[in-house]
Structure 1
Amino acid sequence: MRALLSLLLMLGLCLPAHAVLPGEMLADPALEARARALSQDLRCLVCQNQSIDDSDAQLARDLRVLVRERLKAGDTDDQVTSFLVARYGEFVLLTPRFGWHTVALWGAPLAFLLIGAGTIAASLRRRRLAGEPPPAVPLSDDEKAKLEAALRS
């Protein structure tokens, strides 16, 4: 029984927690599905690393209500997103749009990958060009005698 309870508790902790209140939900299931999809892609401006769908902050609730109002008014998903970006800036998007001002954000992973690959290639090339170390030069008779004397003392 204990194992079953702990399993249910672990499963409950793994499920995403949605902060949408029943009073916020739309009666039309298609509109509600669109609202939920949009809410998952919009950043809570208070929590910053949560979507407004997951956040309990009052501003996130206000944004969820605003999204639903815009959808009921007949706006498309792009129009709702554009309205929120115009009002709050690109920061409201969890996944920023690709543009001239976000090139560094989108290009940085590729740049780091290319720099890493170049570093590895240069290192391998340097090793290959270095080849094997030069052969050891045998000791002369005088050096052998000095070494044996040093080892005896």
Structure 2
Amino acid sequence: MRRWLMVFLLALAGSFGGQTLHADEAVPLADNELTEKRLVAISSELRCLVCQNESLAGSHAELANDLRREIRTLIEDGRSDAEIMEFMVSRYGDFVRYRPPLKGTTLLLWFGPGVLFIVGLAALVLYLRRRDRAIEETPLSADEQRQAEALLQDKDSRQGLS
């Protein structure tokens, strides 16, 4: 079955042998090149709500296409960049911006990662200090000391053999 499938696919590919495909230059979606440049500038400042880690300009999601179409319409209606940004923020919140403004509701977005890093680092330092104190405060008993020495001697003897 696989062999017949391969033969069929090779025959199909051979039938296109003389034809080559060429890519044409992408045509801007807006008639005005200035409109297209403004669209790219604005959409690169906005986050794709589907992808969340990709700009609206670089996203291929359907929602991103719809939002770019909406921005293009607003540009053609004569809205300024600030008005378009305000429209998007009023509709989708500050999360849609890659650089949200510094205000009470976005403090966690701005300082949350740094605070979490500092708290995690402090917790690690405290844990390591407590562990070191626990090791220093509880020395090995005589029996444990003999076992450790035996293990070290056994390790040395094995290294001498190899």
TM-score norm. by structure 1 comes to 0.54
Task: Indicate conservation of the 8 Å contact 1:24/1:65, yes or no.
Answer: no
Counterpart pick for 2:139 among 134, 145, 149: 134
- Which stretch shifts more, 78-87 or 68-77? 68-77
Distance in structure 2 (CA, Å) of the matches to 1:25 and 1:44: 24
**Shift in Å at residue 122 of structure 1?**
0.9
Does 2:102 correspond to 1:106? Answer: no
**Shift in Å at residue 41 of structure 1?**
2.8
- Which stretch shifts more, 71-80 or 111-120? 71-80
| Partner SS for 1:22 | coil
| Partner SS for 2:128 | helix
Q: CA separation of 1:56/1:120 partners in 2, compared to 1, >3 Å: closer, same or farther?
A: closer
| Partner SS for 2:111 | helix
**Shift in Å at residue 107 of structure 1?**
2.8
Distance in structure 1 (CA, Å) of the matches to 2:132 and 2:95: 48
Does 2:41 correspond to 1:37? Answer: yes
Counterpart pick for 2:32 among 11, 26, 29: 26
| Count of matched residue positions in the alignment of Structure 1 and Structure 2 | 115
Structure 2 gaps of 5+ residues are 1-25, 144-162
**Shift in Å at residue 39 of structure 1?**
1.1
**Shift in Å at residue 109 of structure 1?**
1.3
Q: 1:80 matched to which residue of 2?
A: 84
Distance in structure 2 (CA, Å) of the matches to 1:21 and 1:51: 21
**Shift in Å at residue 81 of structure 1?**
0.5
Q: 2:3 matched to which residue of 1?
A: none
Matching residue's letter, 1:33: K
**Shift in Å at residue 82 of structure 1?**
0.8
Task: Indicate conservation of the 8 Å contact 2:28/2:36, yes or no.
Answer: no
**Shift in Å at residue 65 of structure 1?**
3.0
**Shift in Å at residue 112 of structure 1?**
1.8
Structure 1 gaps of 5+ residues are 1-19, 139-153
Task: Indicate conservation of the 8 Å contact 1:44/1:60, yes or no.
Answer: yes
TM-score norm. by structure 2 comes to 0.52
- Which stretch shifts more, 106-115 or 62-71? 62-71
How many percent identity over aligned positions? 33
**Shift in Å at residue 103 of structure 1?**
2.1
Distance in structure 2 (CA, Å) of the matches to 1:96 and 1:88: 12
Name the structure, 1 or 2, with higher relative contact order (CA <8 Å, separation 6+). 1
Distance in structure 2 (CA, Å) of the matches to 1:135 and 1:42: 61
